[in-house]
Chain A
Amino acid sequence: MSRPSTSDPSLGSEPAARRGRDTWTAALTRWVEGLVPKGQWLPDRQPVYVASWIYVFGVACLASLVVIIASGLVLTLGGVTWWHSSTVGHFFNSVHLWSVELFFATMVIHLWGKFFMASWRGNRGLTWATGALAFFGSLGTAFTGYLIQTNFDSQWISTQAKDGLNAAGFGAYFNVMNLGQMVLWHVSLLPLVVGGIVAVHIVLVRRRGVAPPIGAADPTTSLPAPDPEATLGAPAPEGRRTESASVRTVGSSQGPGA
């Protein structure tokens, strides 16, 4: 894990003794800045191996989520029964439905890709886990969406789903037949939860970078041209120094796999 250069007392602007009395604000700022290697929040370059169409499904999923939220916001303008009698409302309901289908389709293809690429390698287990949690959170959100359609679907789905939820004990608190409750879960609680999980997922992707190909050789162990930025006494670019330093210490690149 990389540390920001201000942790080096000889380089930081604050003497070490003072840091014990750091403001909460400064500590939070340092933590946020340390989440992602410098320059990696929104880089305009990617590792050369990011060269396949499979890599676009994450962003396609995110784009679908944006359309879901936008169309959902239009539906909130009119309320839960508006779309039955308004052609504009029905159109936006349709956009909302198809964006949800596209959202799940791209998410699943993204998931298939990440599975076959074992993208949890290199300390990326949490990236996979947050993605999986986002999937399940999305299922719940979509489910509440079906419940608040205020039509025959809602009647059938609610009276069916209640049995499973009741059997598991959740139904006592999460009443799928209570329209008022389900509307609030669908438009505020669950989107915030799913949004939060998605945000953590994306930060983790930026933090670790895109997983290298399976079996790729470590580029820092082949004889490199001298790094023009690594002059004596100056820190190497963030994220590189500690990682590659440990590699040189360790020696050969690939350990035995399982």
Chain B
Amino acid sequence: MSRGTGGWGPTPDSHAFPTRRYDLVKEFVIALGVVTVLCVVAALVFSSPDEPAISLQQWARQAPADVVATAAGELAGTTTSAGYGPPYNTAAEGQTLGPVNLQKLPGVTLPVEPAKDFVLDPVRTLVGDTAATTAVRVWEAASADQQQAWATAYADALAKAPDGDPAKVASGDYGPVPAIAAAELRLADSGALEGLLTSRTSFFGVDSTKALLLLADGTHLEDAARAQNLGGDQWGIMNETGNYPGQPWLWLYSLWYQVPPFSTSDNADIGVWALMILLSIGFVCIPWIPGLRTLPRHLGVHRLVWRTQRR
């Protein structure tokens, strides 16, 4: 008998009970056989989803206006990346939970300067393209205020143009920004942009951070995701592309994003994380939480399990 976990009183030693023949190894082998058959059959019948990655070239061909608008936004400092904060830059403070700001704590560990890294440095490589290289020179010679004015004006004008089409933008003083954005689009269309973002300085491109941040700054990636019910407010965390089951075990994590206050908060992510960590700690500690640790006695489901045992 053990003193054991509180609330139940002493529990008999399991080794003191009469025993029955029970072949654990055979049970495991049968389980392995059954699981293997189920997985192989499911694999043959249902296969698995594999929606190809959206290359920056496809982005350029399917949503060229989005590429131009995103490039202008990077230059104007209005994109998500440009205004993100740690760990990429210091443009913002990050999310807070009351007085606590965990996002700021580690500082900038993955430095990203979106205008430079995503747009200017790649465009600068177009050495044979005089329109592009001249535009970059004009940009760099201008003051920060002038750059801001040009880029913001162009980004606004694109938003107002029919279908966001750069060809239909109202005339205005945009400086070299339209030329730079157009050069970015040409780069993306050529298929060279991922390489410039991931392996230009490192040869081995195993870190897709910059390419992904740029793609996510546009609307095309999110549009494709929402079409598959993968948006955060669509319970997307639980879901998968196509007609496949996703991660139903993430139901509670997804749930919080659907309800206030999280659904309308700028600090939703840290809020949900904090709540889930608390609940997870509680879950691990069920054996020690009074009331919760003895709840099963009152639920009575155990009576089904042991109904064949005489008391």
Residue A78 CB within 8 A of the other chain: no
Looking at B26-34, B61-69, B144-152, the stretch in contact with chain A turns out to be: B26-34
**Which of B25, B49, B269 counts the most A-chain CB atoms under 10 A from its CB?**
B269
A-facing mask of B240-272, CB < 8 A → 1, else 0? 110001011110000000000000000101101
Interface size on A, as a range, is 35 or more
| Chain B neighbourhood of A159, CB < 8 A | 212-213, 215-216, 221
Residue of B nearest to A242 (CB): B13
Looking at B16-24, B131-139, B184-192, the stretch in contact with chain A turns out to be: B16-24
Residue A203 CB within 8 A of the other chain: no
Complex alpha-carbon distance, A96 and B48, angstroms: 9
| Chain A neighbourhood of B272, CB < 8 A | 164
Residue A47 CB within 8 A of the other chain: yes
| Chain B neighbourhood of A97, CB < 8 A | 43, 48
Complex alpha-carbon distance, A33 and B32, angstroms: 28
**Which of A50, A122, A139, A240 counts the most B-chain CB atoms under 10 A from its CB?**
A122
Partner among B51, B95, B309 whose Cβ is within 8 Å of the Cβ of A51: B309
Cross-chain pairs A/B with CB under 8 angstroms, 15 sampled: A44-B21, A48-B17, A48-B19, A52-B304, A52-B306, A116-B299, A154-B53, A158-B212, A166-B103, A167-B273, A172-B105, A177-B212, A219-B16, A239-B15, A250-B1
Residue B141 CB within 8 A of the other chain: no
| Chain B neighbourhood of A139, CB < 8 A | 249-250
**Is the beta-carbon distance between B22 and A160 smaller than 8 angstroms?**
no
Distance (whole angstroms) from the CB of B89 to the closest CB of chain A? 12
Interface size on B, as a range, is 35 or more
Residue A9 CB within 8 A of the other chain: no
Partner among B105, B230, B247, B283 whose Cβ is within 8 Å of the Cβ of A132: B283
Residue B162 CB within 8 A of the other chain: no
Partner among B20, B25, B102, B308 whose Cβ is within 8 Å of the Cβ of A167: B102
A-to-B contact residues, CB < 8 Å: 37, 40, 42-52, 54, 56, 59-60, 62-64, 66-67, 71, 83-84, 90-99, 101-102, 104, 108, 113, 115-118, 120-125, 128-129, 132-133, 136, 139, 142, 149-156, 158-160, 163-164, 166-169, 171-173, 175, 177-181, 208-220, 237, 239-240, 243-244, 246-247, 250, 253-258
Complex alpha-carbon distance, A132 and B294, angstroms: 18
Complex alpha-carbon distance, A47 and B13, angstroms: 10
B-to-A contact residues, CB < 8 Å: 1-25, 27-28, 31-32, 34-36, 38-40, 42-44, 46-54, 84, 86-87, 94-95, 102-103, 105-107, 109-110, 206-209, 212-213, 215-216, 221, 224-225, 230, 232, 236-237, 240-241, 245, 247-250, 267, 269-270, 272-274, 280, 283-288, 290-291, 293-294, 296-297, 299, 301-302, 304-306, 308-309, 311
Residue of B nearest to A116 (CB): B301
**Is the beta-carbon distance between B19 and A155 smaller than 8 angstroms?**
no
**Is the beta-carbon distance between A95 and B40 smaller than 8 angstroms?**
yes
| Chain B neighbourhood of A93, CB < 8 A | 48, 50
Residue of A nearest to B28 (CB): A59
| Chain A neighbourhood of B94, CB < 8 A | 166-167
**Is the beta-carbon distance between B35 and A214 smaller than 8 angstroms?**
no
Complex alpha-carbon distance, A123 and B5, angstroms: 5
Complex alpha-carbon distance, A37 and B16, angstroms: 12
Residue of B nearest to A215 (CB): B311
Distance (whole angstroms) from the CB of A213 to the closest CB of chain B? 4
Distance (whole angstroms) from the CB of B304 to the closest CB of chain A? 8
Complex alpha-carbon distance, A15 and B301, angstroms: 52
Complex alpha-carbon distance, A139 and B21, angstroms: 35
| Chain A neighbourhood of B11, CB < 8 A | 121-123, 211-212
Complex alpha-carbon distance, A133 and B284, angstroms: 7
| Chain A neighbourhood of B247, CB < 8 A | 104, 142
**Is the beta-carbon distance between B51 and A101 smaller than 8 angstroms?**
no
Complex alpha-carbon distance, A90 and B48, angstroms: 8
A50-B296 in contact given A104-B249, A116-B302 (Cβ < 8 Å): no
**Is the beta-carbon distance between B1 and A247 smaller than 8 angstroms?**
yes
**Is the beta-carbon distance between B31 and A59 smaller than 8 angstroms?**
yes
**Is the beta-carbon distance between A246 and B17 smaller than 8 angstroms?**
no
Residue of A nearest to B273 (CB): A168
Distance (whole angstroms) from the CB of B156 to the closest CB of chain A? 25
Distance (whole angstroms) from the CB of A152 to the closest CB of chain B? 4
